Amino acid sequence: MYNMRLALAVVVSLFGASVAGAGAGSSDGASGLPAPEGPVILTVSGGIGIGNGNANDAGVATFDRSMLENLDWREIETHTSFTTGPQRFAGPTLASLLDAVAAEGETMIATAINGYFVEIPVAHAAEHDVLLALDMNGRPMRVRDKGPIWVVYPLSEQEILEKPFDTEMIWQLSRIEVQS
């Protein structure tokens, strides 16, 4: 396989720089989320009640890694049909993210860096303990490793045979739009 020389920090910083122009600006509204200090790796928009900006402009919430680390961070071991054997994933739960932005809606459109997108029911977040995985087996995932965020549905070895959520398990996630 390819070499592992590249450290995550490099990737993330480069990636962050590339999207910096599209950032939500440097608003510091008391009611909103704090503005991200590091590179933005996730942007949430649509039917949300809380953004980074002031109360009048709650349309967009952007996250860097440390903001995501402050959410309901979990470490799980699970199987996926894209990997072999049990894998350890770590990251905030999708539910905690949706709480943080006060999302209101039935579904959300999750979009990857390259524009690939998929529709995920909002209810899945609570029903299936969906994780926004940032680390795999103790290491932050690079883009080439399906990072920076991989939507993971915890499943047993038997459950993956049915491939129930293969479509929803989008990797290289960069944007979520909640549809109200």
Partner 1 sequence: MPKWPALSGRLARTLLAVVAFGVLVTSLMSMRAEVIEEEKELAFNLTGLSWKISETIFEIKRLELILQDYEAGLAVRDDLILQAELLWSRVGVLEGSELRIDASILRAIDTLSGLLTAWEHAIYDAPDFAPAQAAELRAEVAARAAEIRSLWIREFLVDREAMLRAAALSGGARYEMLAILSVASLILYMSVELLMAGRAQARERHLRTAAMAASEAKSAFLANVSHEIRTPLNGVLGMAQELSATPLSQEQAGLVDVMVGAGQLLVSTIDDVLDISKVESGHLELEEVAFDPRRRIEHCVALHQSKAREKGVHLSLQVGADLPGAVSGDPMRLSQVLNNLVSNALKFTDAGGVRVVVAAAPPGEGGQALSMSVSDTGIGIAPETQARIFEPFTQADAGTARRAGGTGLGLTISRAICRQMGGDLTVQSRPGEGSTFVARVVLKAADGGAETDILPGEGAHDYAPSLSVPRPVVVAPDAGGDGGGDAVVNPAPDTGAGAPEVAVARLLLVDDSRTNRLVMQRFLRGRAGQVVEAVNGAEAVDAALKERFDLILMDIQMPEMDGIEATRRIRAHERETGQAATLIVAVTANVMTHQVKEYRANGIDRVISKPVRKAEILALLSDMQSLRAA
Positions touching partner 1 (CB under 8 A) are: 1-3, 5-6, 10-11, 14-15, 17-18, 81-84, 113-114, 116, 142-146, 171-172
CB closer to partner 1, 146 vs 175 = 146
Distance separating alpha carbons of residues 159 and 78, to the nearest angstrom:
10
Parallel, antiparallel or unpaired: strands 131-133 and 117-121 = unpaired
CB of 130 to partner 1, least distance (A): 21
CB of 55 to partner 1, least distance (A): 34
CB closer to partner 1, 63 vs 150 = 150
Provide the 3-class DSSP secondary structure of residue 143: helix
CB closer to partner 1, 82 vs 123 = 82
CB of 114 to partner 1, least distance (A): 5
CB of 109 to partner 1, least distance (A): 19
What are the tokens at 14?
């480069």
Selection from 83, 77, 85, 177 nearest residue 131 by Cα: 77
Query: At 120, phi and psi to the nearest 5?
Result: -125, 130
CB closer to partner 1, 18 vs 180 = 18
Dihedral Cα 128, 133, 137, 141, nearest 10 deg? 150
